[in-house]
Amino acid sequence: MLKADHGLAHGAAHRVSLLARQRADTGAAAPSDPASALYVGAKAGLRPLHDALLSEIRALGAFDIAPKKGYLSLRRRKQFAMVQPSTASRIDVGLILPATTPAAGRLEPAAKFSPLFTHRVRITAASDLDDELRGWLAAAYALAG
């Protein structure tokens, strides 16, 4: 019904189904902030940087956030990025960019990081949220549209 009547992709329909069943089983409400589970303990200090990063991404337009075990998947019609606190001092951003996008400097190849993404950018400070990163995010966002 979610796929046929509401046009959800298979993965999104499955996620809605899982959340609905969990809520029915436990009586608990779904978590309001999917990132809260990622930024605990030593990684808690990265939360302001995460919020600033998501603010930059939200400026691109509408997208869905699909929480995973250790990261957030960002999706339009297709996944375009992921945000993962990887250490106590760094957030990794995985991107799905055109194959012709060269990996150089801060824009690293993601083959060893995750085979689901083409590139990775390491974010350690607010100064990393610059025009160069915005351009890569915009390209990945547009490609997933």
The 10s digit of each residue's pLDDT in 103-116 is 999 999 998 888 89
Q: Do 112 and 35 contact (CB within 8 A), yes or no?
A: no
Buried b / exposed e over 89-115, threshold 16 CB at 10 Å, is ebbbbbbbbeeebeeeeebeebeebee
Tokens of 49: 């940087």
Residue 116 class from Cβ within 10 Å (0-12 exposed, 13-18 middle, 19+ buried)? exposed
Describe the strand order of the beta sheet including 79-87 as a list of residue ranges: 64-67, 72-75, 79-87, 90-95, 119-123, 108-109
Comparing CA positions, the residue from 80, 84, 127, 81 lying closest to residue 106 is 127
For position 11, what pLDDT does the model report? 78
Residue 28 CA: distances (Å) to CA of 38, 40, 115, 135: 19, 21, 34, 40
Residue 131: pLDDT above 90? yes
Question: Beta-carbon neighbour count of residue 131 at 10 Å?
Answer: 7
Using DSSP bridges, classify how beta strands 119-123 and 108-109 pair: parallel, antiparallel or unpaired. antiparallel
* Exposure of 91 in the CB half-sphere (CA atoms within 13 A): 29
Q: Which residue type does 15 have?
A: R
Q: Give residue-wise pLDDT tens across range 19-60.
A: 777 766 555 554 578 889 999 999 999 999 999 999 999 999
